[in-house]
Amino acid sequence: MDQIYSDYCSNQLNEQLSILKDFEHDLQLVPCPQSNDAVLNEFIKLKYQDIHSDYLLLNSINQNKIIELINKKLTLVNSAPDNMKIELIEKIVELSVISKYDFRKAEILKFIHKLKQSFNIHFQDELFSKLLNKDFIHINEFESFLAAVKTKWILKLPKSKLIENLIQTNLSVLPLSYKSIKLQNINRLFGVEVDESIISKMISDDNLNGKINQLNQCLVFDDFQLENNIFDIIEELSVY
């Protein structure tokens, strides 16, 4: 038992050291302001708050509080120097891509969009526009995004959790285009197998208004919004 505990502690320590190395790398990418002590102290304070909030998320990832982390970052933007503002906004954009579905997310995305426009930041524009416009993101696009992230500690997060978050976000926008859709067609659209338990949990948590028709193996939405009914017409032909 002592050996098992010792191995566990060793693994945890190595993991934390790896995370801290990523933070050190991120910190070196941000030029420190050449100015008076007050400006330098404020910069260090803000950078500490930024990194500390990252660290807290990594140690509570199972709680999936990425939206809360985004809100913390947004409070730092106003008081940050310009070079740090850009870094923070880019990090916020990346966090918005990997966050799960949340009813607050639509308004947060609009606010991030205004920040991007204010500072003329063209970063992950295509993927962010899909989120903003409530288009689903294919797994291949998501994989390409992960391969190019600037916030390297994102790669420390469990990939299965990130994919589950993506699936939730994609499921939340389906009622804009479909009245009903076969489960196998959801897999095809997203490019990844969607476990029914994810759909069931979203429904039970009132994050998705619909039900699974087990007989026809399809998902039927209660709040179909007829924004893109060409997809619904196609799907209706294939469901029944």
pLDDT value at residue 1: 45
d(CA 200, CA 184): 16
pLDDT value at residue 82: 81
pTM confidence score: 0.78
202-205 long-range Cβ contacts below 8 angstroms, 24+ apart:
202/101, 202/168, 202/171, 202/172
pLDDT value at residue 197: 95
Q: Which residues of 90-102 are buried (b: 16+ CB within 10 A; e: fewer)?
A: bbbbbbbbbbbbb
pLDDT value at residue 128: 95
Could you list the pLDDT tens digit for every one of the 240 residues in the chain?
445 435 544 554 455 556 555 555 555 555 555 555 676 677 778 888 888 888 877 776 566 789 999 999 999 998 888 878 999 999 999 999 999 999 999 999 999 999 999 999 999 999 999 999 999 999 999 999 999 999 888 988 889 999 999 999 999 999 998 999 999 999 999 999 999 999 999 999 999 999 999 999 999 998 666 554 444 444 443 443
Q: Which residues contact 179 (CB under 8 A, 6 or more apart)?
A: 220, 221, 224, 232, 235, 236
For the record, the structure tokens of 24 come out as 């050190």
Sort 133 into a burial class: Cβ within 10 Å, 0-12 / 13-18 / 19+: exposed
pLDDT value at residue 12: 46
What domains are there in the chain, each with its CATH number? 2-157 (no CATH), 162-239 (1.10.10.10)
pLDDT value at residue 185: 95
